[in-house]
Amino acid sequence: MATAHGCSAVCPGYSAGSISESDTEFFAQLTLAGPPCNAYGTDIENLTLNVRFDTMNRLHVHIQDFANQQYQIPESVIVLDRGSGADKKTSSLNFDCTHSSTGGFGFKVSRGAQVLFDTTGHPLIFEDQYIEVTSSLPINANIYGIGETPDHFRRDPNNTTKTLWNRDAADPFRQNVYGSHSVYMELRDDQFHGVYLHNSHGMDIALSSGMIQYRTLGGTADLYFFGGSTALDVIDQYTELVGRPNRIPYWSLGFHNCRYGYKSVYEVDGVIANYSKAGIPLEAAWTDIDYMDQTRDFTFDSINFPLSEMQRQLAYLHQHGQKMILITDPAIQVNMSYGPYARGHRQDVFIKNADGSEYIGQVWPGYTAFPDWFAPRAASWWGDELGRYFEQLAIDGMWIDMNEASSFCTGSCGSGKPESEVPPFPWTLDPPPPHRPLSTNNTFLVPPYAIHNPETELSDKTIETIARHANGVIEYHVHNLYGYMESKATYDFLVNYRPNRRPFILSRSTFAGSGALVSHWTGDNAATWRDLHLSAASVFDFGIFGIPMVGADICGFNGNTTEELCARWIELGAFYPFSRSHNAIGMVPQELYRWDVVAEASRRALGVRYSLLPYFYTCYQRSVERGWPIARPLVFEFPSVPAVVDNDRQLMVGGGILVSPVLVESATSVDAFFPAGLWYDWYDYSVIKGADDNVRLNAPLEHINVHVRGGKIVPAQVPAMTTSRSRENDFYLIVAVDKHGTSAGDLYVDDGETFDTASRWMQFSFANSTLKIRQCSGQYNVAQPLSMLVFLGVSAISAVTINGARVQANVSVSNGSTIVNGLNIDLNGELDISFV
C-alpha cells in the first residue's frame, strides 16, 4: 500500500489479472489489491484495462469500471477518431503492464528506450467521485499545455496545479478560466510527445518535483498518448483524434474592432469612418450586448440600435468589403412575453431542477433559463431562433459568449420569482449578499475532493452542479462541455442556413475538439504589461489545444490602457492569428486611431500583416490539414536549443516569420533571441547572423521588429484596407536564403469562402540562382500575377529568364538584397525563373 500525493489516505492500488492480448490490443482485469481507502468517495473494486494501438503514433489506454456506471463523454457529443489500428510490433510506442510492492498495478508507455509515462509505484485510485493517476517525470521537465489558464508557456514543473472547471473569470494569473483542455506536451531530449485525458469532469492536473498527477471528480481514466516526435507531429496526432481545425473564411484574418459600451449604432458608424479616415485597415465592426433590447438575445434596442439602422450599417459595411459581427449569449430571459423563451419553454429545451421545474439563474437580462443541449429539441429550437434573428439582420459571423455557462447567482435563484422582477447585479449590492450555507451532505454540490477552483463551491458563477439535463445526467458530470455543445449547435445552424459557406464563430468557452467548430479569444484580460506578455503564451497554448485561430483583446479589456501600452499591444496583436481590439464599458476608448502614435504603429504592423495574408492563409490551411498552429513559440521550431524552452517573449508566424515585441514599459529596445542561421529584417533587409543568443534591437514606439528566417520563401500580396481588396492585388515572394544560398516555401489558394471551392497548392524552391515554382495539386485559377521578387541575401542579379526566355525587369539592390520588380508571371503553371 502507498500514500497518494493527492490525498492523505493509504490506498492499496490494484492487481492485474485475466490478461489477454492481440496484435493491436491488450486487455486485463484490475481488482482492488487491499482494503478500500475511500479517500474521496467509494473505491470501485473491479476495473477493466483496455489498451489499443490506434495508429502508428497513437496509443489508447482506458481504465474504466467493470460495471460501466461511471459517466463518460458520449459519441453523440464528441466523436473521437478511432484509428485503423496498428501492429504493436511496429508502433512507435510501447506499452508494458507493471507491478510494484508500493503501488500495485502500474503501466509504462515508452518510445524506444525512452519511458514517456510511468505509473509504477504510484497507486491507482479509482472511486465513484475521485480518480487519481500519477506518472513519474524527469526533474525540471519541460511541460506545455493544460488549461485554459493565463500563465507562462512552459509550466512550472515543480509547483503547478492546473484546474479544469470552466469559469467566467477575468483572466486571473494561473487560475482556471473559460475552457478545459487536459492535453499536454513534453519536450525531452530534443523530442516531443503528448498525453490527453478524455474526461469532462472537474479536475486538477498537478506538477510537482518529478511527477504529474491527474485528480478528477469522476468518470474514467481515458488516456491517449502521442509519439511525436516534433511539436507539430504531436499536434497533428492530437487533432487527428479530437478533430481538425475548422475552415475559416479568408476575411476573418483581417483586423477587427469592438468594445463593450458603444452607446448607439451611430457611434459605431463613427468608429468605422474614423478607421478609414486614419488609414487603418478594418475588416469587421463588432458590437457587444449594447445593441440588444434589455440585453435579451435576438433583439435590437429600438432607440439606440434600431433594426433599420443596423440593416443600413450592415449594407454599408458590405458595400465597402467589410463585415458585421454581434454577440449572443446562451442565457434566455424567463418571460412568456419574450418569444425565444416562450417557444423554448413549450418545446421543453431548458435545464431543470431536481424537482423537474426549470432551472433559473441570473445573467444580463435578469432571471434566465439555460438551453439544455442534451434536450431532444434544443438544437432545432436554437437554430430556429437564430434563423429568425438572421432573417432580421444577416450578420457575417457569430460571437458566443458567457457559455461556461456564466450565471451571476448561485443556484436556481429565480425559481418562484415573478416575471416582472428584475434582480440587481450582485456586485452592485452593498453589503454583498452572503454566500448560501454549504450543503456538505450532498457530494455533488460539495465533492469530498476540492479541486482548486477559487470559488466557494463549484456551482458559483455557473449552473448548479445538481441541475438536471434531459438525459438524466446532472451538470456535475458535463459542466465543461456546455460551451462546446453550444458551439456545435451554432455551427450546425450556420452550415445549414448558408450552405457551402464557411461559418465564423468566436466562442469564449472551449473543450477538446472545439477547434473543429469555432475560433477563440482569451477572454476578459486586463490593460497591463503582464497581460500583454502572457497573451503570447495563451495563443501558444491554444495552438496545442487544436484551436489555432486565437487572439487576445488588443490593448486590454478591463482597465484603462495607455498610449504606449496600446501601441505595443497592436504591434504584437497584429500577428495573433485572430486580431481584434476590444475593451470594457466605462474604460477609456482605445480604437487604434485615438492616439497618433498608436495609429502609426497600427498602420505599420497591420501593413505587415495584410502583406502576409497569403502566408497566414497558407499556414492556416496546414492547420486544417494537419492541425499545425499558425502562431508558434521558438521551441517548436528549435527544440534542441535549451535557451528557448521557456521563451514566450517572441512569436513565430509559421516557421518563417519571427516577431520580437516590446513587452516592457518605457523600453525603446528589445533583447531578441536569434537561433543559429540567417534572419533578415522585414523593413530594410539587413541580416542578423543568429548564434543562439540575444541581439539587442532598436524598437522605437511605432516599430515592431519582424524578421524573415533564412531558408524560407514567404508568399505575400500588396496590402490594402480590407482582405477582399488585398486579394485583388499582385503577389510577391520574399525569398530569404540560408547560408547555402537556398530556400523553400509554399502557397495555398482557394476562394476563401466556400467548402467545395477549387484550390491550388504550389511549392517554391530557390537554389543555384533559379527559382522553381511547381504545381502540387488543385485547379484553382490564380488571377493575380506574381509581379515582384525580393531576394534576401542575394545581390548579384542583373537579368531574369523565365523558362529560358529573357524578360524585362527592374532590378535594385538594398543592404545586400535584391528586389526584382515589373514582372507579370502567371502563377498557374510550372516555372523555372533564373537569374544571372
Catalytic positions: 401, 404, 524
List the Cα angle 507/510/514 in 5-degree steps: 90
Cβ count near 587 (within 10 Å): 18
Q: Which of 142, 146, 119 is nearest to 132 (CA)?
A: 119
Rounded Cα distance, 546 and 72, in Å: 21
Rounded Cα distance, 325 and 574, in Å: 19
Rounded Cα distance, 503 and 84, in Å: 30
* Cα→Cα distances 654→61, 577, 637, Å: 33, 10, 9
Element (H or E) spanning 188, and its range? strand 181-188
Contact at 8 Å (CB) between 740 and 768? no
Q: Which residues of 330-361 are buried (b: 16+ CB within 10 A; e: fewer)?
A: bbbbbbeebebbebbbeeebbbbbeeeebbbb
Q: How far is CA 347 from the centre of its chain?
A: 34
How many Cα neighbours within 13 Å face the side chain of 701?
14
Q: Please, what is the angle between helix 613-626 and helix 596-611, to 10°? A: 60
Element (H or E) spanning 551, and its range? strand 550-551
Strand partners, 767: 770
Virtual torsion, Cα 356, 361, 366, 370, nearest 10 deg:
-70
Contact at 8 Å (CB) between 284 and 254? yes
Contact at 8 Å (CB) between 599 and 700? no
Fill in the amino acid letter for 340: P
Q: What is the DSSP string of 16-80?
A: EEEEEE-SSEEEEEEEE-SS---SSS-B-SEEEEEEEEEETTEEEEEEEETT--S----TTT-PP
Q: Which of 554, 486, 502, 638 is nearest to 179 (CA)?
A: 486
Close Cβ partners of 65 (under 8 Å, ≥ 6 residues apart): 44, 46, 47, 48, 126, 220
Contact at 8 Å (CB) between 141 and 118? no
Rounded Cα distance, 195 and 188, in Å: 14
List the Cα angle 763/656/592 in 5-degree steps: 120
Q: In the numeric block, which cell numbers belong to residue 476?
A: 456535475
Cβ count near 655 (within 10 Å): 18
In the sheet that holds 366-369, the strands lie side by side as 332-333, 366-369, 360-363
Cβ count near 259 (within 10 Å): 23
The burial of 697, by beta-carbon neighbours within 10 Å (0-12 exposed, 13-18 middle, 19 or more buried), is given as middle
How many Cα neighbours within 13 Å face the side chain of 794?
30
DSSP 643: G
Strand partners, 51: 26, 61
Q: Which of 244, 333, 251, 323 is nearest to 297 (CA)?
A: 333
Fill in the amino acid letter for 297: D
Q: Which residues of 120-154 are buried (b: 16+ CB within 10 A; e: fewer)?
A: bbbbbbbbbbbbbbbbbbeeebbbbbbbbbbbebb
Q: How far apart are the first and last CA of the chain?
A: 76
